[in-house]
Chains A and B, each alone.
Chain A
C-alpha cells in the first residue's frame, strides 16, 4: 500500500523536530568522550574514556553536583507535599480567598525569574537572613509549588465526588478514604508535579544565582567555569543527569502502559 504524501510529510517533519531536539544533547554526550588537549572542549580531537576516570579532578564540581541533587530532592519533597495540599484545597473546596490564591499562583508561574530572584534577594537581605543552601531550597520550593498545585488540581477537578462518597458509604473513615481512594486516584498528578519540580530545581540558574550566597550548585559552577573553559567532566555529569531523566521517562511510560492494561 502506498503512503499518501501528507503522511510522508508528517513523518519527515517529526524526524526534523527530533533532530532539532536531540542535536544539542548528542553534542553534549559526544564531547564527554573528546580527547581534547586544550582547556576549551569545542573541537573534536578523537575518542577517549579517560575523563570518566578523572571526574575527581575538580572536587568543587562534585560538591556542586551534590548540592544540586540534594537541594532538588529536598525542594521536591517539600514542594510535592505543599503543592498537593494546595491542589486538593483549590480543586475540592470553595473558600474565601480562593480567587486571590489562584491569582498568586498564576503570578508565581508567569513572573520572570529575574524579577523573582532579585526580589527574593532583597527580601532575604532586608530580613537579615544569610543566603546559602537553605535560601536556595526556600526559593526553589517557592517557584515550583504552583506547578505541582496546578497539576494536582487538574486531577482533583476531574474526580467524580461520588467515588469518595461510595467509600464513606462502605464504612471508610475520611482518613481511610483519603489514603485508599483519593490519593491513589490523584497519584499520577502528584508524580507528574514532583518530576516537574525536580526538573525545575536541578537546572535552575537565575533564581539560584540571586539566593545562593556562598553555596555553589552545578549550573552555577558551569557558569563560573565558562571563563576558564568548560572541562569534559561537565559533559559527563550532564550525560548522567540526562540518562537518569530518560530512565524515569521510560519507567513512567512502561508503568502507565501496564496500569492501562492490567
Chain B
C-alpha cells in the first residue's frame, strides 16, 4: 500500500507523518533448536513502531527481547511472520542491506581501529566522499562529546566513552531506526543516569526512531514514548509509560513495573460503572470503570503511593480497608508500611515525608487504608 522505500538516503529530522510504521512485526515467531528440542524464544509478536518514536522493549531476562531485536536487525530469521521497515518486507534481507543500525550490549567496537575509523566505518562502506565523511564523523563526535579523542583505540577509553563511540558509530549513518540492546547495562548507576539523559537528548536532536531494549523498568518509564512489556516470548502490554504504570493490563505487568498491590474480591453491585467489592468485615473496595458484572470475582491493582493510611475510618466514596501494620521502613523521602489484612494478604503503602518525619502508625497498630475508586484498576488474569 505504500511507495515508501527503505533506501539508503539521509533521513530528515522531522517527524514522519505517514501512517506507515517505521518498524512493523507481524506475527513473528522465533524457534531455536537446542539439543534436539525446539525452544520458542519469541511466541508471536506483532507491533508497530512509529517513525521518530522512542520505543522500549521491557521484560525480565530470557523473555525474548534480544531475539526480537535481532530479527529487526536481520541477524536472526523469523521462523514465522514478517518484518517490515517503512512498509517494505525485509524478512529475507541481510543485515548489511537493512537501513537500521544496532548498538550492541557489549559495544562491539573494532579493537584494531581508532575511534575515528570506528565511526567512519559505515560511511566508508557506503562509499561516501572523503570530505563528507570528515564532516559527518566530526559532527557526530561533537554530539557525543568525544572531540579530541579521535586517535584513541577503544580499549584506551572508559566504559561510558566506549558506549558513546558505539552510539556515534551507529548514528552517523543516519539510519531510519536505531536499535539499542541494553546499551547502558555495563555502566554504574551515576553514569547510567547521565547517559539516559544524553540518549534522550541525542534522540531529540537527530529525530531517529529508537528501539530500546532494557530490563530496567525505571529506565523504560523515564525514557520511552511507548513501552512493550514482554514476558515469556509474548507482549503483555503495549502502551505509554503512564498507562503501563497506572493501568497495567495483566498481573505480570502490575508486578513487574514498580510495586503493586493485588487485591481480589467478588463484585456485589455496579453503580455508575463503579464496582463495589465488600470484604468480609474489614471494609470494601471501589473500582471505577471495571468492565464487570455483579457476582464476578475480579482482581484489582493499587499503587502503594495512591493509598492513604489513617487511624480513623475514612468517609466518602473511597475504598476503605482495615488491617494491622506489620512493618514500617524509613526510606528517606517517604515511609513504607506493610499492612497485613485479615485474609492474609499484605498491602504496601508509601507515604511522603512532606511535613514532618513522624510516622502515622507504628508496628502492631490497627489502621485504615483508603484510596480513590479510580486508583483501583481491574486487571485480566
Contact = CB atoms under 8 A, between A and B. Distances in A.
Given A170-B121, A170-B122, A171-B125, A165 B110 contact: no
A160 B106 CA distance: 9
B109 interface: yes
Interface string B160-181: 0000000001100100000000
Contact of B125 (A162, A176, A262): A176
Given A172-B125, A173-B96, A176-B125, A167 B110 contact: yes
Interface string B93-110: 011110001101110111
Interface size class of B (residues with CB under 8 A): 20 to 34
A167 B153 contact: no
B73 interface: yes
A173 B75 CA distance: 13
B104 A262 contact: no
A181 B96 contact: no
A160 B162 CA distance: 15
B135 interface: no
Contacts of A185: 111-112
A10 B73 CA distance: 55
B190 interface: no
Contact of A169 (B102, B110, B126): B102
A165 B125 contact: no
A163 interface: yes
Interface in A126-157: none
A160 B108 contact: yes
Contacts of B105: 162
Interface residues of A, number: 18
Given A170-B173, A176-B125, A163 B110 contact: yes
Contacts of A173: 96
B101 A170 contact: yes
Contact of B104 (A166, A171, A172, A184): A166
A166 to B, nearest CB: 4
Nearest to A163: B108
B374 to A, nearest CB: 46
Contacts of B96: 168-173
The A contact surface, by secondary structure, is: helix
Interface string A156-194: 000010110111111111001000110011000000000
A99 to B, nearest CB: 16
A163 B169 contact: no
A162 B104 contact: yes
B104 A165 contact: yes
Contacts of B97: 171
A171 B95 CA distance: 7
A166 B108 contact: yes
Contacts of B104: 162, 165-166
Contacts of B111: 163, 185
B112 A163 contact: no
A17 to B, nearest CB: 33
Nearest to A166: B108
A183 to B, nearest CB: 10
Contacts of B73: 169
- Which of B75, B108, B122, B169 has the most C-beta atoms of chain A within 10 angstroms of its own C-beta? B108
A77 to B, nearest CB: 24
A237 to B, nearest CB: 38
A184 B125 contact: no
A169 B76 CA distance: 12
Interface in A66-106: none
Given A185-B111, A185-B112, A262-B153, A169 B106 contact: no
A162 B181 CA distance: 12
B212 to A, nearest CB: 16
A160 B155 CA distance: 14
A4 B112 CA distance: 41
Given A184-B112, A185-B111, A169 B153 contact: no
Given A160-B108, A162-B106, A169 B101 contact: yes
A173 B95 CA distance: 9
Interface in B77-103: 94-97, 101-102
A166 B102 contact: yes
A173 B127 CA distance: 13
A167 B112 CA distance: 13
A160 B105 CA distance: 11
Given A165-B75, A172-B125, 15 more contacts: A160-B108, A163-B111, A167-B110, A167-B121, A168-B75, A169-B96, A169-B101, A169-B102, A170-B101, A171-B122, A171-B125, A171-B126, A176-B125, A184-B112, A262-B153
8 contacts: A162-B106, A163-B108, A163-B110, A165-B108, A169-B75, A170-B101, A172-B125, A184-B112
Interface of A: 160, 162-163, 165-173, 176, 180-181, 184-185, 262
